[in-house]
Chain A
Amino acid sequence: MKADVGAPLAPFGLGQLLRLPAYGRNIGGAAEFVVIPALALAGSLVLFGVFVALFRKNPLDLYFYMYQGAFGTWFSWQNTLTRAAPLILTALCTALPAQLGMVIIGGEGALLIGALSATGAALALQSAPPLFVDLAMACAGMIGGGLWIMLSGALRHYRGVNETISSLLLVYIALAILNYLVEGPMRDPTSLNKPSTREIGAANMIGSIPGTDVHWGFVLGIIAALLAYILIYHTVFGFAARVAGGNIRAAKVVGLNVGKLILIICFLAGAAAGLAGMMEVAAVQGRTNANLAAGYGFAGILVAFLARQNPLAVIPVSILLGGIGASGGLLQRRLGLPDASVLVLEGMIFVMVLASDSLYGRFGFLRGKAA
């Protein structure tokens, strides 16, 4: 392997190598990247319709209510986008390390640590102006979450510990730390039956995007996804990361500092999830308690895989899953389906999208001239 890949690369200087147009390869197959996931999605909707029909519910009603609940009214749209907001950020926690070939599934832990750090910052700065407090919260949240996932990266790089396992186990450690602090040192003594930290204060709360109920976390998520896309596909650093992800030995041969790449990417990934945690505190809950462990981190894994780890695709996929979540309520209320039916649909989409991987490159007409 080393000889095969390393040898042709070696004559180039690193600078030359990194100036190659990294995105050129993707343009030809762009149509594939829209059509195949759309087919997979349509296939899973049909399959879900059959599943629902087995329970003697009309699949056409199902599609109608799903559409209405997710996108059919202005309210439904806001509902969908509100649910999508944390998913964009937590999905980046999985999608960024995936560029390096790492499977990080501990976004939930980074979210919790980010929320705790942000709450700690807000409580320490009670007398400061709100804008300053919010900025400090965002920084603390990103640093807290970033260091948390960086820990998994460091374990992988220095000790050879599998990052998937370590990041998952760190979720339970994060949850234990959160419960300990919320029920112990950081507990608001008046929170009797629902142990919580003190509130960050109404003045420090971040409001909604004007004219909507959707909090600013949605906009931050889109910005973060765009930045992540630019970083990965349009910078030298991102290209180096993808080289390391493609073949770590080749990357080492051409002199890339793989350890540094792993630590930085893991930090950025955790920072995104930490920011999601900070926004949950600053825009939704107003304090930290066990409510924060609502599974956004785990839903983010699903989003990242459905988006094929592409930071830009994370945005529409988050909106799609937000929409499925939003319509789930209407399915329960109008069709009497149990909550778990939404999980069935998500599972079907997941399997169909993964299975559709085998279709890439089989439709010549989709590839255009570049093929």
Chain B
Amino acid sequence: MNFDRISRRRVLQGTAALTFGAALPLRPATAAETTVGFVYVGSRDDYGYNQAHAAGAAALKSMPGIKIVEEEKVPETDAVEKTMESMINLDGATLLFPTSFGYYNPHMIKIAQKFPKLRFQHCGGLWSEKDPKNAGSYFGYIDEAQHVSGVVAGYMSKSGKLGFVAAKPIPQVLRNINAFTMGAKLANPKITTQVIFTGDWSMPVKEAEATNSLIDQGIDVVTCHVDGPKTVVENAAACGAMVCGYHVNQAVLAPQAYLSGAEWNWEVLYPRFVKMFTAGETIPNFYRGGLKEEIVKVSPYGSMVSAEARKHADEVKSALISGSYVIFKGPVADNKGNTVIAGGISRGQTDPELEKMNYLVDGVIGATS
């Protein structure tokens, strides 16, 4: 071991070229194992986006012959390319999950082209025909779970005012805000959702300020769409408001305030992918689903949630699972009075129009720009 220390210091002292020839193969000798690499953009214990993926990765650990390698806080730059290559070259990973949206293009595409025999599964639903065939992108219709959460929030709010702390006014986020509000309106047609955009995915200070200011306005149920909802959940609970969670179950952070929440269900999806991979089946390049496909789920209701709220929310949930229910069903008006989905038109989850959502529905207080 001491040898390595000396080499390293020599390297640092500028006689670096020596080590070029001394390259040692690091690949582990266990050929029978399949190594799966996971890359996260934030900490894997963020009570949010990254923890949801890490929980999915943890679900693979019990599978025989599967080895997991993980790396957190990898920025969306060429650092992620190097991380993936490092997992491939040094750990022997053959299936990779770069889980952040911004990893896709150009980073994952480039590495997928460089390693055509390996498989890349990206979270975000971006794959198109022009992209490499050994790459895939999956995503979940988490607005379905938001819609059910919204029903619960609608019943539980006494003030009729909900709050939503959101990162950026992009289609995915707007869709969650709208689905949540439309769910709440099933319980209370006059309810409003005040939205605050913080401008970025992880801004704990702004998220705390936004939460406090929402509660100061008389809002009594707060939810969010940011990478780590911990700040929002803890602040809202500390101020005596109720919360609906996002990404993962945050009930442990605020058991007395946590009503429900929209969660990813990667624990179910990832073992499904890995089974397909080890069996030699082709994983679909474009993979999506909602509650029915078990890609998203609704947090168990908190003990304070009323029987009436539970009953209605469960009805909506089972209707979504059976496929007999469409959230974005016309007529839908935006909060400026324009009709955005005409009467008689049902925009089901696979409708590409929903991917371009650029409005906030009636009942939401806030602006997209």
Contacts and interface: CB of A to CB of B under 8 A. Distances in A.
A193 interface: yes
Nearest to B79: A83
A177 B218 CA distance: 34
A306 to B, nearest CB: 12
Contacts of A72: 19, 22-24, 26
Given A73-B23, A73-B26, A79 B75 contact: no
Given A192-B356, A333-B70, A67 B24 contact: no
The A interface is mostly helix, strand or loop, or mixed, namely helix
B28 to A, nearest CB: 10
Interface stretch (B81-89, B254-262, B266-274, B306-314): B81-89
B171 interface: yes
Given A64-B4, A192-B356, A79 B71 contact: no
Contact of B89 (A73, A294, A316): A73
Contacts of B79: 83, 294, 325
A192 B26 contact: no
A28 B78 CA distance: 41
A179 B12 contact: no
Contacts of A332: 70-72
Contact of A285 (B89, B106, B199): B106
B8 interface: yes
B207 to A, nearest CB: 17
Given A68-B90, A286-B106, A329-B83, A82 B72 contact: no
B118 interface: no
Interface in B162-176: 168, 170-172
A239 interface: no
Interface residues of B, number: 51
A195 B86 contact: no
A326 B82 contact: yes
B115 interface: no
B170 to A, nearest CB: 5
A63 B4 contact: yes
B86 A294 contact: no
Nearest to A205: B106
Given A42-B9, A63-B5, A333-B71, A193 B90 contact: no
28 contacts: A41-B9, A41-B12, A67-B7, A67-B11, A68-B4, A68-B26, A71-B8, A71-B16, A72-B24, A74-B20, A75-B85, A77-B19, A77-B20, A179-B199, A192-B356, A193-B172, A285-B106, A286-B106, A289-B102, A290-B200, A291-B102, A316-B14, A329-B71, A329-B83, A330-B90, A333-B87, A333-B91, A339-B72
Interface of B: 1, 4-5, 7-9, 11-14, 16, 19-20, 22-26, 43, 69-79, 82-83, 85-87, 89-91, 101-102, 106, 124, 168, 170-172, 199-200, 355-356, 369
Interface of A: 34, 38, 41-42, 60, 63-64, 66-79, 82-83, 179, 183-184, 192-195, 213, 215, 280, 284-286, 289-292, 294-295, 316, 319-320, 325-326, 329-330, 332-333, 338-340
